Amino acid sequence: MAAVVLIGSQWGDEGKGKITDFLAEKADMVVRYQGGNNAGHTVVANGEEFKLHLIPSGILYQDKTCVIGNGVVIDPKVLLEELSYLEERKIKTGKLLISSNAQVIMPYHLVLDGLEEEARGDKKIGTTKRGIGPAYMDKASRVGIRIIDLLDKEEFAEKLGRNLEEKNNLIVKIYGKEALKFEDIFDTYLGYAEQLRPMVADSSLAIDECIQAGEKVLFEGAQGTLLDIDHGTYPYVTSSSPIAGGACVGAGIGPTRINRVVGVIKAYTTRVGEGPFPTELLDGTGEEMRANGHEFGTTTGRPRRCGWLDAVIARYAARISGISDFAVTKLDVLTGLKTLKICVGYRVDGEIIYEFPQSQKIFKLCQPIYEELPGWQEDLTHVQHFEELPQAAQNYIRRIEELTGVPATLVAVGPGREQTIVRGTIF
Ligand code: GDP
Ligand code: IMO
Ligand code: MG
């Protein structure tokens, strides 16, 4: 039995898609368990680049079963477009299962995501405007429409009618915009439902059967620890649980089934959207990281904010998710920097703290305390073995391990599948 959960250890975009694709080779099933098409996972397989938003990165292997679990919010239009995109690129998608209990992103969720952001003014979150927050709001309010509801015409008509009345009230009376029309949504979504029907399944059961049969299951998290609704930099977070515990809820499996947790962590830090970021670099070094690491959002194209690695955050992620192994990505991007900095604690109000603070008011005031390490000049993108890395790069990785107590079992030195240094087995 082997079930591995892979999560983001920072603010997302750590390279989860790449590491999922790398580990998926040995897996039988790959499962997404939360988030929606706010995610953007870029995978480079056999020299070809793929951008995935909803479908697990395991889809690029033809023999893996891929699952979109109950914890995901699905925009059916986006899902169908992604399926066409993959088919056009000669990727077979016949082994995709969709949970009947996953929530559906409706057109009013997209409208409200935009209107709510606008209304927040300078307190805006910087959402991806994909309707994620409003869809999870409806789930928690117990009025959400699930995939299974879409497949039942009467049920769908009733739920859509009730929702639309309430949402149109908001859209028209509070925001002064035009009401959405029932018929337009109803007919379109029934059309989507018929296309999705063959893929809809009891995904929790399918995953359990796979685990019971001794097969290998990989759970692919979206977003990252600090975007977690409970444990992240609230309110500058997403509306789901990207941490490892989220896999149990969002896939319908028990915690005793999970053997390992891989925390994907960039060798530096990036963040998209608003919110505090103590190690952010607003100078030339930050710009260099953005340029060398191509740090622009996969989903929205926004430039990602860049900064030094924060070991306080790495230790926090390790604690919250019980990370057993780190996959350090983008080490190659640091080539050429004379000195590297790692944040080991924060100075706040004349005090020094070493743990991630509970209060966001305090986090905002945190000044990083840095440790400096020498950089390296060599190109790392062809390195296959840890010992072949320049000594300074080895030391950098070893220092991350010391500061966090977690082994860096995988080290990525480029976007390609083969640009991955393996220092131990995950599956
Ligand atoms: P995700 O959302 O966590 O899957 O990450 P993204 O795909 O949004 O962003 C990571 C980007 O870095 C992608 O374009 C990857 O192809 C790329 N990438 C992943 N690992 C590495 C690496 O080790 N080196 C370099 N140079 N690029 C990488
Ligand atoms: P992947 O899976 C980086 C951020 C948004 C915003 C906040 C809330 O590619 O790592 P939302 O639309 O979810 O309500 O936006 O979360 N965000 C991400 N940042 N990577 C992601 O996904 C993200 N998904 C959401 O920028 O700050
Ligand atoms: Mg991404």
Q: In a structure prediction context, what are the per-residue pLDDT tens digits for the chain, which is 427 residues long?
A: 699 999 999 999 999 999 999 999 999 999 999 999 999 999 999 899 999 999 999 999 999 999 999 999 999 999 999 999 999 999 999 999 999 999 999 999 999 999 999 999 999 999 999 999 999 999 999 999 999 999 999 999 999 999 999 999 999 999 999 999 999 999 999 999 999 999 999 999 999 999 999 999 999 999 999 999 999 999 999 999 999 999 999 999 999 999 999 999 999 999 998 999 999 999 999 999 999 999 998 888 889 999 999 999 999 999 999 999 999 999 999 999 999 999 999 999 999 999 999 999 999 999 999 999 999 999 999 999 999 999 999 999 999 999 999 999 999 999 999 999 999 999 9
Residue type, 388: E
- Counting from 1 in the atom list of ligand 2, the atom nearest the Cα of 300 is 26
The pLDDT of residue 298 is 81
Question: How many CA atoms, within 13 angstroms, populate the side-chain half-sphere of residue 17?
Answer: 25
Q: Enumerate domains of the chain plus CATH numbers.
A: 2-90+202-422 (3.90.170.10), 103-198 (1.10.300.10)
**What six digits make up the tokens of 169?**
């009230």
CA distances from 77 to 37, 64, 104, 111, 115 (A): 11, 24, 10, 15, 21
382 is an active site residue: no
**What six digits make up the tokens of 163?**
């929702």
Asked whether 127 lines ligand 2 (CB < 6 A), one says yes
Rounded Cα distance, 11 and 363, in Å: 15
Asked whether 113 lines ligand 1 (CB < 6 A), one says no
Gap from CA of 211 to ligand 2 centroid (Å) = 30
Q: Cβ–Cβ contacts within 10 Å for residue 114, how many?
A: 16
- Beta-bridge partners for 408: 326
**What six digits make up the tokens of 17?**
């898609």
- Are the beta carbons of 95 and 112 closer than 8 angstroms? no
Asked whether 40 lines ligand 2 (CB < 6 A), one says yes
The pLDDT of residue 416 is 96
Question: How many CA atoms, within 13 angstroms, populate the side-chain half-sphere of residue 379?
Answer: 4
Q: Which ligand is nearest to the CA of 411?
A: 1
Burial tier of 62 (Cβ tally within 10 Å: 0-12, 13-18, 19+): exposed
Asked whether 20 lines ligand 2 (CB < 6 A), one says no
13 is an active site residue: yes
pTM score: 0.97
Gap from CA of 258 to ligand 1 centroid (Å) = 25
The pLDDT of residue 301 is 87
Site to probe by mutation for ligand 2, drawn from 38, 51, 137, 243 as the one with most ligand atoms within 8 Å of Cβ, is 38
Asked whether 42 lines ligand 1 (CB < 6 A), one says yes
Q: Which ligand is nearest to the CA of 233?
A: 2
Asked whether 12 lines ligand 2 (CB < 6 A), one says yes
Asked whether 37 lines ligand 1 (CB < 6 A), one says no
Pick the catalytic residue from 13, 75, 113, 332: 13
The number of angstroms, rounded, from the C-alpha of 422 to the middle of its chain's C-alpha atoms is: 22
Neighbours of ion ligand 3 (CB under 5 A): 13, 40, 298
The pLDDT of residue 1 is 60
Residues 169-194: pLDDT tens digits? 999 999 999 999 999 999 999 999 99
Q: Which of 157, 160, 159, 179 is nearest to 169 (CA)?
A: 179
Site to probe by mutation for ligand 1, drawn from 262, 330, 335, 397 as the one with most ligand atoms within 8 Å of Cβ, is 330
